[in-house]
Chain A
């Protein structure tokens, strides 16, 4: 099945940068959303196999989005990668508690993004 990414960030700049980086890595299928609420709508209408989300967002933040996905049978195993400016130890722990699969501190590099996606996919494959 071809990978389809859902990129969730309230910053248009960040969404564009993440989408560009994904495309440079060969992932052409990308859907965008500006917050958690829109992400849920996009998931329902357009579908996705991998979520990349920011933390700080209006309406529904990345943590709440992750909690919502994990509590929903349809999306409980969907890979979630958080990309955020929050780099404190407590922040990372809180994100892991919300059951994101991995964590990137902004600013990210395409290489770092590639590594995290591959790590997550490997873990998901092992579990499957």
Chain B
């Protein structure tokens, strides 16, 4: 009997000790939750700042790309003018030679007409100049295409910005769960740092994807096609 009482006393002692050990642990858990919940608004805010920073950087890049494209467009126009003036010059030279050769003084030179044309044209019609013009034209076209591709790739900013807003919303829902857990810890007592309602900085699509794979577009095209088919037959 006394043995039993002794055992129960020991158990109670152990239990009390366990409670003594557990309370600070629970207090630590509570503080950790409070700390984590408190950090979340900062995390959301940082995500929002990242979005803003990438948007302004993207706009700066787009400004530069536009500026460069405009410069190339102007250079392309200038190149066209140069080509047109060369054609005009050639035409004038041919006409002048023809007139010259039709005069009595030109009869002797008539048999050398083609040779003369070659000599005159060699000053501005050599194959190197021709090649250079062609290469410059190609360079302008490919560079402008490359600039357009850079601009198009920058859609990634809009897509990732939407993903970030989606992530911020998930983080905020976790925060709300944490506040609820805190309230349970505090036995329903008012928690000073009340959970703030999350207001997304922009509308978003959490499933936004930056992918060049054509499947999503092809699938959309098929739905549009079927829809239009049905509409046509109505």
Inter-subunit contact A24/B148 (CB<8 Å):
yes
Shortest A36–chain B CB gap in Å is 11
List of A residues within 8 angstroms of B227 by Cβ: 93, 96
Q: Annotate A1-33 by CB proximity to B: 1 below 8 A, 0 otherwise.
A: 000000001111110110011001000000000
Name the one of B162, B221, B228 contacting A85, with C-beta atoms under 8 angstroms.
B162
Give chain A interface residues in 76-123, CB to chain B under 8 Å: 84-89, 92-93, 96, 102-110, 112, 123
Task: Count chain B CB atoms within 10 A of each CB in A85, A87, A93 and give the residue with the most.
Answer: A85
Inter-subunit contact B152/A107 (CB<8 Å):
yes
Residues of A within 8 A of B (CB-CB), count: 36
Inter-subunit contact A107/B212 (CB<8 Å):
yes
The majority secondary structure among interface residues of chain A is mixed
Give chain B interface residues in 11-39, CB to chain A under 8 Å: none
Task: Determine if A57 is an interface residue (Cβ-Cβ < 8 Å).
Answer: yes
Residues of B within 8 A of A (CB-CB), count: 39
Give chain B interface residues in 171-191, CB to chain A under 8 Å: none
Inter-subunit contact A13/B59 (CB<8 Å):
yes
**Residues on B close to A: CB < 8 A?**
55, 58-59, 62, 65-66, 69, 144, 148, 151-159, 161-162, 202-205, 207-212, 216-217, 219-221, 223-224, 227-228
10 contacts between A and B (CB under 8 A): A14-B155, A17-B154, A20-B151, A21-B148, A24-B148, A58-B202, A85-B159, A92-B220, A103-B220, A106-B208
